Amino acid sequence: MANLIDIYHKLLEHFGEQGWWPAETEFEVIVGAILTQASSWTNVEKAIENLKSEGLLSPEALLQASEEKLRRLIKPVGYYNAKTLKLKRFVEFLHENYEGDLDKLFDRDTEKLRLELLSVWGIGQETADSIILYAANKPTFVIDAYTKRIMSRLGLVNEDTTYSDLKKFFELQLPGDLEIYKEFHALLVELGKNYCKTKPLCGKCPIRDICAEWKSSSKRN
DNA sequence: GGCCAGGACACCA
DNA sequence: TGGTGTCATGGC
């Protein structure tokens, strides 16, 4: 049975360091985390660039911006009506409870921070954990659709494992190391994008030798 | 032209 | 608590 540390090192060797999150500021991480919900990162990059060119990548600027303007600027990500509201709800929350200061929000223990983030409309578990890990720089493992699919195909967890169970699965096996958490999640996304898609592309997958799905499918052929 | 992308929420039983 | 519909653009 393969363990997570082995998988981590194999992915790191194959893909190299990912250096996530791709953003210049903590606030940009948060905006990106919201915008990338069920959207491709290439589209998010366009929207971020639009916001940046209008000087809107700060909590205060976003708070003041009109919804109409936001909708127009983030249009490339899709779901722009909903995501405009999500961005607005977050900066309103930050303004009303933390004087618009991210440091004050992040100056809480991880569990309280997580609950605070989850109380904001539009921020679910994955987005909250992404913000905690990549913006607040606190070790919490991020689970996404790729992670779930990969772990399931490897045969390490059941297909219908919940978010929190899968999160525990990682956190109990890995050392609580911030950099490993950051890098591992990024590597899993890279693996997912390149090989472990809805339709598997196992050809050159770096960990197909330990994949239960691959073993059973190659046996069939 | 269909499928999919670094989810979350509302509504229903 | 689980299952389904909705949100929507852009790349392949």
Mean pLDDT of chain A: 96
Across all strands, nucleotide nearest A40 (CA–C1'): B5
Nucleotides of C under 7 A from a protein CB: 2-3, 7-11
A96 with A119, same domain: the answer is: yes
pLDDT value at position A1?
A: 62
pLDDT, tens digit, 9 for 90 and up, residues A70-100: 999 999 999 999 999 999 999 999 999 999 9
Three-state SS string across chain A, please?
CCCHHHHHHHHHHHHCCCCCCCCCCHHHHHHHHHHCCCCCHHHHHHHHHHHHHCCCCCHHHHHHCCHHHHHHHCHHHCCHHHHHHHHHHHHHHHHHHHCCCHHHHHCCCHHHHHHHHHCCCCCCHHHHHHHHHHCCCCCCCCCCHHHHHHHHHHCCCCCCCCHHHHHHHHHHHCCCCHHHHHHHHHHHHHHHHHCCCCCCCHHHCCCHHHCHHHHHHHHHC
Give yes or no for residue A177 having a pLDDT over 60. Answer: yes
Whether A200 sits with its Cβ under 7 A from any strand C atom: the answer reads no
For strand B, which residues in window 93-132 of chain A come within 7 Å by CB? 120-128, 130
Q: Are residues A30 and A48 in the same domain?
A: yes
Average pLDDT over residues A168-186: 97
CA A78 to C1' C5, in angstroms, rounded, equals: 17
Range of the domain at A44: 26-134
- Averaged over A56-63, what is the pLDDT? 98
User: Which residue's CA lies closest to nucleotide B9 at its C1' atom?
Assistant: A122
Give the angle A74-A115-A36 at the CA atoms, nearest 5°: 20
Q: Is the CB of A19 under 7 A from strand B?
A: no
- End residue of a domain, out of A104, A134, A164: A134
Angle between helices A4-15 and A163-173 (to 10 degrees): 90
Contact yes or no for A101/A58 (Cβ under 8 A): no
pTM score of the predicted model: 0.96
Which nucleotide is closest to the Cα of A75 by its C1'? C9
Quote the CA–CA distance of A99 and A94 in Å, as a whole number: 6
Residue A216 has a pLDDT of 86
CATH, residue A78: 1.10.340.30
Q: Are A154 and A212 in contact (CB under 8 A)?
A: yes
Listed as ranges, the nucleotides of chain B within 7 A of a protein C-beta are: 3-10
Count CA atoms closer than 13 A to A24's CA, side-chain side: 6
What Rg do the C-alpha atoms of chain A give, in angstroms? Answer: 18
Distance, CA of A219 to C1' of C9, in Å: 40
Same domain, A36 and A130: yes
Q: Tokens 């999640």 belong to which residue?
A: A185
- From A134, A156, A189, the end of a domain falls on A134
| CATH code of the domain in which A149 resides | 1.10.1670.10
Domain boundary residue, one of A107, A134, A161? A134
Nearest nucleotide to the CA of A144, by C1', is B6
Specify the pLDDT at position A219. Answer: 63
**A33, A107: one domain:** yes
What residues contact residue A59 under an 8 Å CB cut-off, 6+ apart?
Answer: A27, A91, A94, A95, A100, A102
* Nucleotide with C1' nearest the A148 CA: B6
Q: Does at least one atom of strand C sit less than 7 Å from the CB of A201?
A: no
